[in-house]
Chains A and B, each alone.
Chain A
Amino acid sequence: MIRISSSLVENLIQEVESIPEETCGFLLGKTTENENNVLHYKPVANVSTQNRSKHYVIDPKDYLRTEAFSIETQTALIGIYHTHLDWPAIPSETDRLAAFPNVSYVIISLRQLRFSEIKSWRLNDTNQFLEEKIHIITQ
């Protein structure tokens, strides 16, 4: 399960709704045994050289900077988010084949650039994505 505040989700959604291509970034926060509390999100550029409305690639240097940032701020890299344009918030086979264990993959689905749904997924031991609950906390 991941926990995230409603204000953070609202900001994130507002931001991704303004970008007419797949956008991506990292989710950082504090982790306990059963819970991952997202405290920040960190947008990064989509550097895919293919059709960017259907693909995203994160620059490895952005990845490294984010890991460095998480060490600096003593937070954990909880997950990676990306948008699906006019496609459900379900991981595609492309997503699955490129996925790593031990991190959450949060997908935000936009329909005509309007928020439609948000879901979070994690790989299991047989490399299948399992949905995990997103608990949105209202302050």
Chain B
Amino acid sequence: MATIFIPTPLRKFTANAAKTEIEAQTIKSLLEELSIKFPELKRYLYAPDGKIPSFINIFVDEEDIRNLDMENTQVKKESVVSIVPAIAGGIDDITFTKGELARYNRHIIIPEFGLEAQKKLKKSKVLVIGSGGLGSPLLLYLAAAGVGTLGIVDFDVVEDSNLHRQVIFGVSELGIPKVEAAKKRLLEINPYIQINVYNERFTKENAMRLIGDYDLVADGTDNFPTRYLVNDACVLSNKTNVYASIYQFEGQVSVFNYQANGVFGPNYRDLYETPPPPGLVPSCAEGGVLGVLPGIIGSLQALEVLKVITGIGEVLSGKLYTFDALSFQSRTFKVGRKKSNPLNGENPSIKELIDYEEFCSVGKIESKIKEISAEEFRELLEKEEDFQLIDVREPHEFEIANIGGELIPLGTIISQGEKIERDKKVVVLCKVGGRSEKAIRALEEQFGFSNLYNLKGGIIHYLNTFHPEMETY
């Protein structure tokens, strides 16, 4: 039996034993036996490729196995095999070229910031999810500030209606994937940084892999399923999530899952344990947004990212900042960890990513409403079957594009309920299908209609499919 010497740092995994004995002919079989005997040692004995990791040296008596036969080195009965941690470290080798030093001069001369903070920025890797309204200022400022590596996840292409707020894009980029257009613009601002683009949807399949390559995440998404996904993936991978969101005239910012002194701060689920009922809070595409608002809120988000990276100032962890553009009122609320948090509360129930689309439609007590696809709707038109078409959008939207429906804005649908026919098919439409769904639910509940159909994808989808020549918004 060969004697194995366990070094001090790893005795935690061997019940404090400094020595153990194992019967083996070679180092390879000895390590296998050793990791069966002490399973927790395994991650120190094997690199992901199955080889001996670089941070471990193995000596047989006085000789390093790297000078012998590596894993195939023979072990004798009287051999002493020592596991030796490679002790090393030092200062990170972050250096700046003359051009970079000149570029970042106004950062470096701030006494509390200095070269040290600038080095932290250069070394940091930030994943920005969504390159829209919030993502635009966020990316512009993070790139300009000198964050060394920026990852951008977005699956959209640039559309004209984006340009009133998504200031990273221009007219010449309409139709181009957002991540490509953003990368080009950012490198124009700062050629000293690395930009990785992911022209894909952020899903539970790729979330952990994408986040894994970055130090922290900035969430610039505009919908609840992705927001919960980003939050959960960050908590499950111990990453900080700098969060912001906007709606019409209001914005909010917070820093979630921020680790200070070994304790994690609250996360999105401490603030909102479950999503609002579907359809209650519309997205920017549905509810609209004042173009300058994401500029303000996204800039605040960028500020918090820089503070988390550099450790300067007081991070907005455990707090929710809200801003109301109309009254110019801002407030900061305290947010605490909740025992009931399903991720890291007292009885965690979520140990891996779940289906977020499903999660965000849970609580939908209402039955499923009837729908009609753009194709079916077209057939209905062609058949000249008698039906009623109700358009629940606002008058100004109706003016831009309409397909001859009766205009009854969502807000007045109940008071004008008598205008809706009962004895034939009624198709209800809005821009993309959210408001019309709400209208149908309200009408069904209030008046017991059973002949209402929601136009799937709204007027936009219908026009894009069958009348691409018509103007949309």
Complex CA–CA separation, A61 to B259 (angstroms): 37
Complex CA–CA separation, A91 to B86 (angstroms): 17
Stretch at the interface among A5-13, A92-100, A111-119: A92-100
Question: Do B123 and A93 touch (CB < 8 A)?
Answer: yes
Question: Do A100 and B89 touch (CB < 8 A)?
Answer: no
Q: Which residue of A lies closest to B88 (CB)?
A: A57
Complex CA–CA separation, A95 to B55 (angstroms): 12
**A131 partner residues in chain B, CB cutoff 8 A:** 261
**Complex interface residues of chain B between 18 and 65 (CB less than 8 A to chain A):** 18, 55, 57, 59, 62, 64
**Complex interface residues of chain A between 44 and 96 (CB less than 8 A to chain B):** 48, 51, 54-58, 60-61, 63-64, 67, 70-71, 76-77, 80, 82, 84-85, 87-88, 91-95
Q: Which residue of B lies closest to A127 (CB)?
A: B238
Complex CA–CA separation, A21 to B5 (angstroms): 32
Shortest distance from the beta carbon of A102 to any chain B beta carbon, whole Å: 5
From B82, B87, B259, A24 is in contact (CB under 8 Å) with B87
Q: Does A17 contact B (CB under 8 A)?
A: no
From A54, A67, A88, A128, B7 is in contact (CB under 8 Å) with A67
From A85, A95, A128, B89 is in contact (CB under 8 Å) with A95
Q: Is the interface of A mostly helix, strand, loop or mixed?
A: mixed
Shortest distance from the beta carbon of B310 to any chain A beta carbon, whole Å: 12
The interface on chain A, measured as residues whose beta carbon lies within 8 A of the other chain's beta carbons, has a size of: 41
Q: Does A101 contact B (CB under 8 A)?
A: yes
| Given known contacts A93-B123, A100-B10, A102-B9, A63 and B90 CB-to-CB distance under 8 angstroms | no
Complex CA–CA separation, A98 to B53 (angstroms): 11
Shortest distance from the beta carbon of B386 to any chain A beta carbon, whole Å: 65
**Complex interface residues of chain B between 102 and 148 (CB less than 8 A to chain A):** 116, 123
Q: For A85, A88, A93, A105, which residue has the most chain B Cβ atoms within 10 angstroms?
A: A93
The interface on chain B, measured as residues whose beta carbon lies within 8 A of the other chain's beta carbons, has a size of: 30
Complex CA–CA separation, A26 to B93 (angstroms): 24
Shortest distance from the beta carbon of A116 to any chain B beta carbon, whole Å: 13
**A18 partner residues in chain B, CB cutoff 8 A:** none
Question: Do A99 and B89 touch (CB < 8 A)?
Answer: yes
| Given known contacts A64-B82, A130-B261, A103 and B89 CB-to-CB distance under 8 angstroms | no
**A57 partner residues in chain B, CB cutoff 8 A:** 86-88
Question: Do A98 and B116 touch (CB < 8 A)?
Answer: no
**Complex interface residues of chain B between 240 and 284 (CB less than 8 A to chain A):** 259, 261-262
Shortest distance from the beta carbon of B435 to any chain A beta carbon, whole Å: 44
Shortest distance from the beta carbon of A75 to any chain B beta carbon, whole Å: 11
Shortest distance from the beta carbon of A106 to any chain B beta carbon, whole Å: 12
Q: Does A126 contact B (CB under 8 A)?
A: yes
**A85 partner residues in chain B, CB cutoff 8 A:** 91
Q: Which residue of A lies closest to B82 (CB)?
A: A64
From B5, B10, B84, B91, A87 is in contact (CB under 8 Å) with B91
From A54, A58, A91, A130, B93 is in contact (CB under 8 Å) with A54
Question: Do B84 and A48 touch (CB < 8 A)?
Answer: no
Q: Does A124 contact B (CB under 8 A)?
A: yes
**B238 partner residues in chain A, CB cutoff 8 A:** 126, 128
Pairs across A and B, CB under 8 Å, 26 listed: A48-B88, A51-B93, A54-B91, A54-B93, A55-B88, A57-B86, A57-B87, A58-B88, A63-B85, A64-B59, A64-B82, A67-B7, A67-B8, A70-B8, A80-B87, A82-B89, A85-B91, A91-B89, A92-B89, A92-B90, A92-B92, A94-B91, A100-B9, A100-B85, A102-B11, A124-B262
Q: Which 3 A-B pairs have CB atoms at the shortest separation, nearest pair first? A: A55-B90, A100-B9, A95-B89
Binding site for B on A (CB under 8 A): 22, 24, 48, 51, 54-58, 60-61, 63-64, 67, 70-71, 76-77, 80, 82, 84-85, 87-88, 91-95, 98-103, 105, 124, 126, 128, 130-131
Q: A60-B64, A130-B262 are in contact. List 9 more A-B contacts (CB 8 A).
A: A48-B90, A54-B91, A63-B87, A71-B18, A76-B8, A84-B90, A92-B92, A102-B9, A103-B8
Binding site for A on B (CB under 8 A): 5, 7-12, 18, 55, 57, 59, 62, 64, 82, 84-93, 116, 123, 238, 259, 261-262
